[in-house]
């Protein structure tokens, strides 16, 4: 059974609250509804698992580093968890979380993605508990987002920019307009601004996306001497990947011209050719 994501309607504008931030193209928000629901869910999870006295004993012993005690029934249950399974666990601050297991290691630990918050934690597998049936009916409360129309720099967003963006999300009255939903990544592109502001966060951070790679683009010199054929941006092409530098900078052949290209390379002097290699960039990998 899969827990669905909470996806606001595209085009809607709602009040939002910040959650976990990885970068400007990978962060999590709450709507007013999910923010309120989160408080309810915390209490409901605590009540549901408070009956497990053996778990509480083990958690206490684990916190004071007495690992020799092992509750046999809980160990058996924990060993059944696999990558991709949902689970619940209680952290050291005694808050219960719903999670999705992303990885397991040979030391008895799991990397668990907190589906209602957006961050991950390393958790001993013995501390994991299966979700009860009703817990699958509550959607993931953290909404996975990307700032609309912002392209991640080749060298990634700097830690300073990410920290600055995270600080902006702590402001009290923020509103998000959901621009587009990418089904393959399950990410919503969003425009965020303060209640009384006409300038969105997207515009504020727009200049930082231009801090591209410090390495020179050597192909620019080539195209000064060998003209580049331009493609119609509104046309779909079948392509062959030639060379990939990174997801935002790679080269392709047009499929229908592949054989023709090979013949020309063999038979025609270089100075008489127009290049048939097309540099490509994904303007925003989080947009459909």
Please state, in angstroms and as integers, the Cα–Cα distance from residue 205 to each residue in 155, 166, 187, 250, following that order. 16, 12, 19, 25
What is the mean pLDDT of the segment spanning 17-36? 96
Secondary structure of residue 17 in the 3-state scheme = strand
Whether 109 shows a pLDDT value over 80: the answer reads yes
Whether 215 shows a pLDDT value over 50: the answer reads no
Q: What is the pLDDT of residue 268?
A: 54
**Over pLDDT 90: what percentage of the chain?**
53
Identify the residue with better confidence: 273 or 133: 133
Give the tokens for residue 213. Answer: 């790679």
Q: pTM for this structure? A: 0.68
> pLDDT tens, 155-206?
889 999 999 999 999 998 999 999 999 998 999 999 999 988 999 999 999 9
Q: What is the pLDDT of residue 240?
A: 74
Whether 25 shows a pLDDT value over 60: the answer reads yes
Nearest to 130 by CA among 49, 67, 240: 49
Model confidence band, residue 79 (pLDDT cutoffs 50, 70, 90): low
Average pLDDT, the chain: 80
- Domains in the chain, CATH or no CATH each: 1-213 (2.30.30.140), 219-280 (no CATH)
Identify the residue with better confidence: 54 or 8: 8
> pLDDT tens, 121-146?
999 999 999 999 999 999 999 999 99
Torsion over CA: 288, 115, 36, 48 (sign): positive
Q: What is the pLDDT of residue 50?
A: 83
Strand order in the sheet with 249-254: 239-246, 249-254, 278-280
Give the tokens for residue 286. Answer: 């989080």
CA distance 104 to 118: 19
Give the tokens for residue 182. Answer: 């990418």
Whether 111 shows a pLDDT value over 70: the answer reads yes
Q: What is the pLDDT of residue 222?
A: 52
Q: What is the pLDDT of residue 68?
A: 42
What is the mean pLDDT of the segment spanning 265-276? 53
**DSSP state, residue 38:** H
Torsion over CA: 138, 140, 142, 148 (sign): negative
Identify whether the C-beta of residue 175 lies closer than 8 Å to the C-beta of residue 16.
Answer: yes
Please state, in angstroms and as integers, the Cα–Cα distance from residue 32 to each residue in 13, 36, 41, 142, 200, following that order. 11, 6, 14, 11, 19
Nearest to 1 by CA among 127, 58, 85, 75: 85
């Amino acid at each position: 059974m899969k827990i669905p994501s909470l996806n606001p309607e595209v085009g809607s504008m709602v009040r939002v609250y910040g959650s976990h931030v990885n970068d400007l193209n990978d962060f999590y928000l709450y709507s007013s509804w999910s923010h309120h629901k989160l408080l309810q869910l915390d209490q409901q999870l605590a009540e549901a698992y408070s009956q497990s006295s053996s778990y509480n004993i083990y958690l206490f012993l684990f916190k004071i580093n007495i690992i020799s005690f092992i509750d046999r029934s809980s160990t058996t249950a924990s060993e059944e968890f696999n990558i991709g399974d949902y689970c619940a666990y209680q952290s050291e601050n005694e808050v219960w979380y719903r999670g999705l297991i992303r990885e397991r290691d040979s030391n008895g630990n799991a990397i668990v993605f907190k589906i209602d918050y957006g961050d991950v934690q390393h958790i001993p597998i013995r501390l994991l508990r299966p979700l009860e049936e009703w817990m699958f009916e509550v959607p993931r409360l953290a909404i996975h987002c990307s700032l609309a129309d912002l392209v991640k720099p080749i060298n990634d967003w700097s830690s300073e920019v990410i920290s600055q963006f995270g600080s902006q999300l702590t402001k009290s009255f923020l509103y998000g307009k959901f621009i587009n939903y990418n089904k393959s990544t399950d990410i919503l592109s969003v425009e965020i601004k303060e209640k009384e502001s006409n300038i969105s966060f997207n515009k504020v951070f727009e200049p930082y996306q231009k801090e591209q790679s410090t390495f020179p683009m050597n192909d620019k010199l080539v195209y000064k001497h060998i003209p580049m054929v331009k493609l119609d941006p509104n046309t779909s092409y079948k392509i062959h990947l030639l060379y990939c530098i990174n997801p935002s900078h790679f080269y392709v052949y047009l499929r229908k011209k592949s054989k023709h290209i090979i013949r020309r390379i063999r038979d025609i002097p270089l100075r008489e050719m127009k290049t048939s290699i097309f540099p490509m960039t994904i303007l925003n990998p989080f947009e459909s």
